[in-house]
Amino acid sequence: MSLLPVADALKTIIDAISPTKNEVVPLSQANGRILAHDIAAVFDQPPFDGSAMDGYALNATDGQLGAKLEVVGISAAGEAFDGTLTTGQCTRIYTGAPMPKGANAVIMQEKITRDGDTITLEDDVAAGQNVRDKGNDFALGDVLVGMDTKLSPFHLALAAAANHPTLQVRKAPKMTLVATGDELVPPGATLQKDQIIASNGFGLTPLFTHFGADVKDGGIIKDDRETLKNELKRLLDEKPDILVTTGGASVGDRDYVKEVLEELGVDLSFWKIAVRPGKPLMFGTKGKTTIFGLPGNPVSALVTGTVFVVPAIKAKLGQSPQHMVVQLPLTTDMSSNGPRQHYRRAKLVTKPDATLGVDPNMQSDSAHLTSLSQSDSFVVQPPLCKGKAEGELVDVLIMPWAVS
Ligand SMILES: Nc1nc2c(c(=O)[nH]1)N[C@H]1C(S)=C(S)[C@@H](COP(=O)(O)OP(=O)(O)OC[C@H]3O[C@@H](n4cnc5c(N)ncnc54)[C@H](O)[C@@H]3O)O[C@H]1N2
Ligand code: MOO
């Protein structure tokens, strides 16, 4: 049976996804969320022409080096000067304070000398100098942050300045993650002969959470057909947006996940992808729930989680499902590839000339977690690609933590 190409599998997944609904959250909970509407300015910022410096407000027609001006008042933030300046007059003014009427420039206090209520300018002053015009930052009606933006601390500071105490964001997709396998025990257990620590969830949960999912731990299910069926039925009945299983995906006599999902009414779209690692990935739907059966091998689970499940989460959030892929030069030779698209563990490298390169790890055992832990990216090597030499450009899928 020929294996499904990665691009076809991704298209099938994305076509099956519909975005989550919206919810309103306070700004304090909006970081990293996906904005579900445009944020518009409901007033001008600053709301008045104001000073950008501590100094003296004057009219630039009086602003010649050596000119002497009379200080007739003070304009402070929150306490504007009410009068109107006439020729030869100025006011004391502080940063952020409104410009007095009749003034159109501010000279910094370091550039005058003061004697009683008289200042002497030690520099020429041009109209507009050190003045922030009304609406200079944003003006009524401006779109400040566009719908579908992933909100950063910088966006939130702007939303707060624009007096939006709450925002509508996409609801986090509800996910359930469950491990299958008789040999699995949680970390901290005293390991018996033949037991393995269930480690996959400890990588997958923060991976999915990072991309905006709300992940529930569905525990570990034994490789017993009836138990598996009962437990998966119970979890499907909770109608999560996405259900992810790991393990039991292959062709062994105890790999029941596929047939049990089908018995439970899951419409399986595919099983077995031309991807390395991760070949026995399965994908299907039941009602509003999207189901991924990931292979149990730890690197296979984390690679398929990255390559196939993360785009589904992004699509649920109304985001482009694309991975962050850039072209970078290899810092070492890379061997040829077989018929499956290979996501080679790799590490970004800053070269001596301060440009970036990528160092592929030649370890391809899908149970070898140490090599994965030393990686922050994957070289995406297409099927049947010949080997590549140091310096040649390759596609690199960058994990978010590689750049922070
Ligand atoms: N005859 C064939 N055998 C296999 C094939 C094949 O095509 N023909 N495919 C291989 C490939 S490729 C993969 S990948 C694996 C996937 O197998 P399963 O999904 O059935 O995984 P398991 O057998 O359940 O487990 C494999 C391995 O991973 C460990 N594991 C499982 N769950 C976890 C977990 N939550 N945390 C940590 N480790 C876990 C498990 O103990 C096994 O060691 O099949 C090949 N076989
Ligand atoms: O696809 Mo498996 O993950 O190659 O070992």
For 109-152, the pLDDT digits (tens) are 999 999 999 999 999 999 999 999 999 999 999 999 999 999 99
* Euclidean distance between the first and the last CA atom of the chain, given in angstroms as a whole number: 42
Residues of the chain with CATH 2.40.340.10: 325-402
Residues of the chain with CATH 3.40.980.10: 6-20+172-316
Residue where the block lists tokens 């999912």: 213
Query: Looking at residues 74-98, what average pLDDT do you find?
Result: 96
Instruction: Indicate if ligand 2 lies below 6 Å from the C-beta of 300.
Output: yes
Instruction: Indicate if ligand 1 lies below 6 Å from the C-beta of 248.
Output: yes
The reported pLDDT for the residue numbered 67 is 98
The reported pLDDT for the residue numbered 1 is 59
Rounded to the nearest angstrom, the distance between the alpha carbon of 234 and the centre of ligand 2 is: 29
Q: Which atom of ligand 1 is nearest to the CA of 179?
A: 35
CATH number assigned to the domain with residue range 6-20+172-316, chosen from the 4 options 3.90.79.10, 3.40.980.10, 3.10.129.10, 1.25.10.10: 3.40.980.10
Mean pLDDT estimate for the chain: 96
Distance, in Å, from the CA atom of 80 to the CA atom of 274, rounded to the nearest integer, reads 70
- Reply yes or no on domain 23-45+145-170 having CATH 3.30.1490.20: no
Instruction: Indicate if ligand 2 lies below 6 Å from the C-beta of 297.
Output: yes
The CATH code for residues 50-132 is 2.170.190.11
**Residue 2: band (very low, low, confident or very high) from pLDDT cuts 50, 70, 90:** confident
Instruction: Indicate if ligand 2 lies below 6 Å from the C-beta of 89.
Output: no
For 321, the token pair is 């499902």
| Architecture, CATH, for domain 325-402 | Beta Barrel (2.40)
Distance, in Å, from the CA atom of 306 to the CA atom of 281, rounded to the nearest integer, reads 12
- Closest C-alpha residue for ligand 1 atom 25: 296
Rounded to the nearest angstrom, the distance between the alpha carbon of 250 and the centre of ligand 2 is: 9
Residue 204 phi, psi dihedral angles, 5° rounding: -70, -40
Residues of the chain with CATH 2.170.190.11: 50-132
Q: Are β-strands 289-294 and 282-286 bridged in parallel, bridged antiparallel, or unpaired?
A: antiparallel
For 152-199, the pLDDT digits (tens) are 999 999 999 999 999 999 999 999 999 999 999 999 989 999 999 999
Length of the chain: 404
Instruction: Indicate if ligand 2 lies below 6 Å from the C-beta of 279.
Output: yes
Q: Are β-strands 275-276 and 377-381 bridged in parallel, bridged antiparallel, or unpaired?
A: unpaired
Burial of 17 (0-12, 13-18, 19+ CB in 10 A): buried
Nearest of 97, 93, 104 to residue 48 by alpha carbon? 97
Q: Which-ligand-closest: CA of 340?
A: 2
Rounded to the nearest angstrom, the distance between the alpha carbon of 38 and the centre of ligand 2 is: 43
**Residue 270: band (very low, low, confident or very high) from pLDDT cuts 50, 70, 90:** confident
Query: Looking at residues 10-27, what average pLDDT do you find?
Result: 97
Q: Which of 271, 273, 279 to mutate to test the pocket of ligand 2 (most atoms within 8 A of CB)?
A: 279
Query: Looking at residues 216-242, what average pLDDT do you find?
Result: 96
Residues of the chain with CATH 3.90.105.10: 23-45+145-170
Instruction: Indicate if ligand 2 lies below 6 Å from the C-beta of 247.
Output: no
Query: Looking at residues 74-82, what average pLDDT do you find?
Result: 94
| 333 pLDDT more than 90 | yes
**DSSP H helical segments within 211-342, as ranges?**
225-237, 257-263, 298-304, 310-316
